[in-house]
Amino acid sequence: NAGVTQTPKFQVLKTGQSMTLQCAQDMNHNSMYWYRQDPGMGLRLIYYSASEGTTDKGEVPNGYNVSRLNKREFSLRLESAAPSQTSVYFCASKGGASNQETQYFGPGTRLLVL
């Protein structure tokens, strides 16, 4: 099992450019999440998907869109990047009969917006 994978690992964008962060999990989990991590602020939830076909806003959704492509994949799109979106982005998934409350995190995508 690869667990939760994220691509790319690093990205530099110019203000106004768009990009999509990809996330996939091979644990057959129902729920998937996108967080951003900024110094001194912990993890803040951007969007989540409780199950395939559903998505909901988290604490900081402005400037982002998501797509739950299928049960495995949950992508995060920045339509017009801003310097305030410079951050480390983590995808996570949760589910499974034996460990329902545990979130499994990907390695993160480090994004710099100039």
Partner 1 sequence: AQSVTQLGSHVSVSEGALVLLRCNYSSSVPPYLFWYVQYPNQGLQLLLKYTTGATLVKGINGFEAEFKKSETSFHLTKPSAHMSDAAEYFCAVRASGGYQKVTFGTGTKLQVIP
For residue 114, give both structure tokens.
């100039």
50 binds partner 1 (CB under 8 A): yes
Q: How far is the CB of 80 from partner 1 (least distance, A)?
A: 26
SS (H, E, C) 46-108: EEEECCCCCCEECCCCCCEEEEECCCCEEEEEECCCCHHHCEEEEEEEECCCCCCCCEEECCC
32 binds partner 1 (CB under 8 A): no
According to CB under 8 A, which one of 36, 78, 106, 111 is a site residue for partner 1?
106
5 binds partner 1 (CB under 8 A): no
Q: Is the Cβ of residue 48 or residue 74 nearer to partner 1 in the bound state? A: 48
8 A C-beta contact, residue 8 and residue 89: no
Distance CA 33, CA 101 (A): 13
58 binds partner 1 (CB under 8 A): yes
Query: Which residues contact partner 1 (rule: CB under 8 A)?
Result: 4, 35, 40-45, 48, 50, 58, 90, 92, 101-103, 105-108
